Amino acid sequence: MAYLQLQGIEKFFGDHRAIKGIDLEIKPGEFIVFVGPSGCGKSTLLRLIAGLEHIDGGTLSLEGRDITHLPSSKRDLAMVFQSYALYPHMSVAENMSFALKLAGAPKAEIDEKVKKAADILDLTKYLERTPKELSGGQRQRVAIGRAIVRAPKVFLFDEPLSNLDAALRGQTRIEIAKLHRDLGATTIYVTHDQVEAMTLADRVVVLRDGLIEQVGTPLELYDNPANQFVAQFIGTPQMNILPYKQWSAAIKALAPSAAKEGSIGLRPECVVLGSDASAKVQGKVDVVEALGAETLVYITTNEGAQLVARQSERTPLHMGDTVSADLALDQAHWFDSKGRVVKA
């Protein structure tokens, strides 16, 4: 049985159908990440699950019980917001204990839970401070701590790291992963950052325009995207997409017939640079990004296609150099003109 089940979930804002009938089964303990471009409906879907928005169609159930129209406070879910939403005049300890106090829990139990959460989140020495005396990363940890002390059935995170700088974001991401490993709580996490999605999720749900495009483990999405949209959304740098009009003769010769007029998709690691005149494409180097452990080389082919190659070794190439690129066509993704997958 699914732990949390969404069946035909719909949401309208006026005439606008923002969520268009979503079906999803979440297993106990799973870490699910909703990703998708701005406006695809990921925050709305999370807010519907949280009970912060009214569900206009479909059914939501938790452990087999219909909670579609249950008030948020009765759902036994805890949400962590991007903006932290801490009470500014309360100390860290008071912020963390507030919900339990409201629920009338005994003081000893509250103290014990706050102490444990503070310990897990490395907040023990800040318990008496107010939020304004904390850094952004510490505030976010308090917001997470407030959710932990409630021991909810499901944790909901709405872009919790987007107000943090890059270094702190990476660090907090690892803390969230560890927390999930230690607590094993069912978690739904919204982000537009596909690196967060890939690193945190057991399964990723890719949304577009109020609908699910694909659900799968991070590597399933990376290796077997259901269509061109998912292929381009997952992976950094993005998958190279070459439309038919930019194909070299060598690509045309090997393309499956259903992909003609469509496009070929190649991950950056499937583009191998060299100076071999018999390689699949020839071109010029636009930019070289030496990142230390890997090098990204951006080229424009003689057919006008833009390609990025990922190399694990350092490169003697420079801007403006002539270059050839061999393409690992056995690992290529072929798409028809509508962006649907074509089998090679």
* Residue 263 in the binding site for ligand ATP (CB under 6 A): no
* Minimum CB distance to ligand ATP, residue 158 (Å): 8
* Minimum CB distance to ligand ATP, residue 267 (Å): 25
Nearest residue (CB) to ligand ATP, 189 versus 247 = 189
* Minimum CB distance to ligand ATP, residue 85 (Å): 16
Nearest residue (CB) to ligand ATP, 36 versus 51 = 36
Nearest residue (CB) to ligand ATP, 37 versus 304 = 37
* Minimum CB distance to ligand ATP, residue 51 (Å): 15
Q: In the β-sheet with 333-335, what is the strand arrangement from edge to edge?
A: 240-243, 263-266, 333-335, 341-342
**Of the candidate residues 22, 36, 84, 317, the single one contacting ligand ATP (CB under 6 A):** 36
Q: Which residues pair with 17 in a beta bridge?
A: 12
* Residue 17 in the binding site for ligand ATP (CB under 6 A): no
- The helix (H) or strand (E) run that includes residue 282 is strand 281-290
Chain CA centroid to CA 149, Å: 26
* Minimum CB distance to ligand ATP, residue 93 (Å): 32
Residues 282-321, one symbol each (x = binds ligand ATP by CB under 6 A, - = not), give ----------------------------------------
239 close to 231: Cβ distance less than 8 angstroms: yes
DSSP letter for each residue of 200-217: H-SEEEEEETTEEEEEE-
Distances in Å between the Cα of 340 and the Cα atoms of 21, 121, 229 are 21, 44, 9
Identify the three-state secondary structure at position 149.
helix
Q: In the β-sheet with 271-274, what is the strand arrangement from edge to edge?
A: 271-274, 322-327, 281-290, 295-301, 306-311
Nearest residue (CB) to ligand ATP, 160 versus 265 = 160
**Of the candidate residues 5, 43, 186, 194, the single one contacting ligand ATP (CB under 6 A):** 43
Count of CB atoms situated within 10 Å of the CB of 166: 8
* Residue 8 in the binding site for ligand ATP (CB under 6 A): no
47 close to 58: Cβ distance less than 8 angstroms: no
* Residue 95 in the binding site for ligand ATP (CB under 6 A): no
Subset of residues 155 to 194 that bind ligand ATP, contact rule: CB under 6 A: 192
Q: Which stretch binds ligand ATP (CB under 6 A): 33-41, 117-125, 194-202, 222-230?
A: 33-41
* Residue 13 in the binding site for ligand ATP (CB under 6 A): yes
Strand segments (E) across 14-153: 16-26, 31-35, 57-62, 65-66, 77-80
DSSP letter for each residue of 90-109: S-HHHHHHHHHHHTT--HHH
* Residue 5 in the binding site for ligand ATP (CB under 6 A): no
* Category of 259 on φ-ψ map: left (φ > 0), alpha (ψ -120 to 50) or beta: alpha
* Minimum CB distance to ligand ATP, residue 41 (Å): 4
* Residue 44 in the binding site for ligand ATP (CB under 6 A): yes
* Residue 41 in the binding site for ligand ATP (CB under 6 A): yes
**Residues that bind ligand ATP in the complex, under the rule CB under 6 A:** 13, 18, 36, 38-44, 192
